[in-house]
Chain A
Amino acid sequence: MLESGWGVARRGVLRMSGAALAFGAHHAHAQGKPAPRRGGTLIIALEGEPGSLTAHLATDTAALIPATNLFNGLIGLDLNFEPTPDLAETWTISPDGLTYVFELARNAKWHDGKPVTAEDAEYTFNEIIAKVHPRASAWWPNVAHAKAIGPNSFEIKLKAPFAPFLTMLGSQLGAGALIMPKHVYLGTDPKTNAANQRPIGSGPFKFVKWEKGNFVELVRNDQYWKPNLPYLDRIVMKIAADPASRLLAFERAEIDFLHWYIVPYDQVARLRKDKRYQIIDSGGEAAATNGFMLMNVRGGPLQDARVRRALAHAINREDIRAKGLFGEGKVAKSPVSSGLGWIFTDKHDYALDVTKANALLDEAGHRRGADGKRFPLRLAWATGRDYEGRAAEIIKDNLRGVGIDVTIQTFDRLTFIDRVFRNWDFDLANQLFTTGPDPTISVTPRFHTDQIKKAPFVNAMGYSNRDLDALFDAESKQLDRGKRAEMWRSIQEILMRDLPALPLYEVPIVQALSAGFYDVVTGPQGYIENRERAYFVK
Chain B
Amino acid sequence: MTTLGGATFFYVLRRLAQAVPLVFVIILINFLLVHAAPGDPVDFLIGSMEATPEFLAQLRAEFGLDQPIGIQLVKYVLKIVQFDLGYSLRFRQPVLELIVSRLPATMLLMGTALVLSSVVGILLGTLAALRPYSKLDHAATFTALAGYSMPVFWLGQIVLIVFSLHLNWFPTQGLYSLRAPSEGWGRIVDIAHHLTLPALTYSVYHLALIYRLTRVKMQETLALDFVTTARAKGVSEPRVVLVHALRNAVLPVVTVIGLNFGFMLAGSVLTETVFAWPGMGRLLYEAIQARDYPVLMGLFTVLSVMVILVNVMTDVVYAVIDPRVVYR
Contacts and interface: CB of A to CB of B under 8 A. Distances in A.
Interface in A457-476: 457-458
A252 B38 contact: no
A49 B286 contact: yes
B15 to A, nearest CB: 33
Interface in B60-117: 62, 90-93, 98, 101-102, 105
B44 interface: yes
Contacts of A252: 164-165, 168, 171-172
Of A51, A214, A453, most buried by chain B (CB within 10 Å of CB) is: A214
Contacts of B43: 414, 417-418, 421, 456
Nearest to A411: B38
Interface in B276-306: 276, 278-279, 282-283, 285-286, 289-291
Contacts of A238: 173-174, 178, 276
A174 to B, nearest CB: 8
Nearest to A215: B178
B51 A137 contact: yes
A48 interface: yes
A198 B161 CA distance: 36
Interface of B: 37-41, 43-56, 62, 90-93, 98, 101-102, 105, 153, 156-157, 160-161, 164-165, 168, 171-175, 178-179, 273-276, 278-279, 282-283, 285-286, 289-291
Given A242-B276, A248-B165, A57 B92 contact: yes
Most buried by A among B41, B47, B55: B47
Contacts of B161: 248
Contact of A134 (B46, B93, B279, B289): B46
Given A213-B101, A254-B173, 10 more contacts: A43-B179, A59-B46, A59-B48, A137-B51, A238-B173, A242-B273, A242-B276, A245-B276, A248-B172, A455-B53
B226 to A, nearest CB: 50
A249 B172 contact: yes
Contacts of A57: 45, 92
Query: DSSP class of A's interface residues: helix, strand, loop or mixed?
Result: mixed
A418 B38 contact: yes
Nearest to A414: B39
Closest 7 CB pairs of A and B: A414-B39, A213-B278, A59-B47, A214-B278, A457-B50, A60-B47, A134-B46
A249 B276 contact: yes
Nearest to B288: A412
Contact of A458 (B48, B50, B289): B50
A357 to B, nearest CB: 32
B97 to A, nearest CB: 9
A197 to B, nearest CB: 7
A499 interface: no
Contacts of B160: 245, 248
B276 A240 contact: yes
13 contacts: A51-B45, A135-B50, A137-B52, A174-B49, A213-B282, A238-B174, A242-B276, A245-B160, A246-B276, A418-B39, A434-B49, A456-B43, A456-B51
